Structure 1
């Protein structure tokens, strides 16, 4: 399995876990006691995780999905630095950092990972 598919799988599981955890009443709107979560943000995290998991069918799909989700997370993270985005993302430097960090990893997945893990480190045959 390629690096892009691994990153999508891990990030997808983490986003789903983050979203589900934030929706439980016992969490009191906080994940790990640091990240404030609202119902729309938890729902969007679950949706983003599901989209990322759907991208692991092939390397090209994984890279496309990672780029799309990464751009959306970067935009939401940048906007959340200045406002709460109509109550969607609670104002918190931790949430902005989480969104921008996740976006950076997904954009690296889109632009920086090799297309096929079997060709990494091999010289082309002439």
Structure 2
């Protein structure tokens, strides 16, 4: 398992680069708070963690054993429209997270067992 994070930034133009997970906190602080971020840990591996960060929320999706799961804070399964990376998508309300939470969970993902046990996950 790699600890390389692919970082995609829309601010407003697009740029992409890779950093080690240990560098993520510094990179995150350097990005303007109104930018959209896509963060993928272990892109292309058997399991990965995908985080979107928007100005007012974040989402976390994880691939485990060929199944995608969303991190869930509440049992509200009603979908709402959100804008992420300039695209409108429908997402369960209970899986809309505070902005800072997405990167916090990604940092926990260095130890997948800890990440899985600390949070509630629902299959997509």
Task: Give TM-score, length-normalised by structure 1.
Answer: 0.30
Identify, as 1 or 2, the structure richer in strand.
Answer: 2
Task: Give TM-score, length-normalised by structure 2.
Answer: 0.30
Identify, as 1 or 2, the structure richer in helix.
Answer: 1
Q: Which has the larger radius of gyration?
A: 1
Higher relative contact order (CA 8 A, sep 6+): 1
